[in-house]
Amino acid sequence: MSYLKLKRYFKDEKTKKDVQFTLLLLLILTGAVIFVNIGLRVILNTDTPIVVVEGRSMEPTFYEGDLLIVKGVPPEDIENGSIIVFWAEWSNTLVVHRVIAIVNSSGELYFYTKGDNPETNPVADPYPVPAKDVKGVVIFCIPRIGLITILLNKYGLIIPVSIVLIILIIQTILSSEETPKNKKKSVKSIRKSERTTFIEFLYDITFLSKF
């Protein structure tokens, strides 16, 4: 597959329309995601309505790649055993853990949390979580659907770009057929090569016959 074939491929009108349709579809999907995210923030009363589980700390309740729906609730409505999403200052990340104790200190609630996995989280989290850092309570889980998000965060745009390139290469190979003119040139080149080889053969025979 040569550069000229790729150039011809992308100059094709059908290819241009396919690319335009794909870009339009991506634009629509992006807009839909943004719209849904804004809508969920309002409906669920939290700035973090969707969270993807990373790591194994909540197994077997949740697994890596699970997509969680989070609802903002008043701190006083959170109970022992609730699974909350909060901003952990000690790690500067969002964490999904279970509440194991609640303490009221000077009128402010603090939540002690712990992961469900006894292997990765044998003890409680190092610090209590103040109510102001709680984003909400997990109300729904969609298994594994968030794995693509983890991959994108981990590898950036390498994976999607690679997939697109592979698809384009396959399409190019399947659609790149030689024109009759090219075939004629190819046959002509072969014949010329055969004539050259035959002439060289005759020359070699003539040269060797002198000895």
With a CB cutoff of 8 Å and minimum separation 6, the contacts of 149 are 52
The active-site residue out of 82, 91, 97, 176 is 97
Q: What is the DSSP string of 39-102?
A: HHHHHHTSS--EEE--SSTTTTTS-TT-EEEEE---GGG--TT-EEEEEETTTTEEEEEEEEEE
- Tens of pLDDT, residue by residue over 28-69, are 877 787 888 899 999 999 999 999 999 999 999 999 999 999
- Tens of pLDDT, residue by residue over 188-200, are 454 444 444 444 4
Domain positions in the chain: 3-41+153-175, 47-145
Q: What's the one-letter identity of residue 142? A: I
Catalytic, 125? Answer: yes
Catalytic, 57? Answer: yes
Matching residue, tokens 């981990």: 154
- Tens of pLDDT, residue by residue over 59-100, are 999 999 999 999 999 999 999 999 999 999 999 999 999 999
Residue 194: per-residue pLDDT = 44
The active-site residue out of 77, 125, 175, 176 is 125
pLDDT-based confidence at residue 150 (cuts at 50, 70, 90)? confident
The active-site residue out of 2, 18, 47, 57 is 57
Q: What's the one-letter identity of residue 185? A: K
Catalytic, 97? Answer: yes
Rg of the chain on CA atoms, in Å: 32
Q: How far apart are CA 60 and CA 119, in angstroms?
A: 11
Span 47-145 CATH architecture? Ribbon (2.10)
Matching residue, tokens 């950036």: 156
The conformation of residue 179, written as its DSSP 8-state character, comes to -
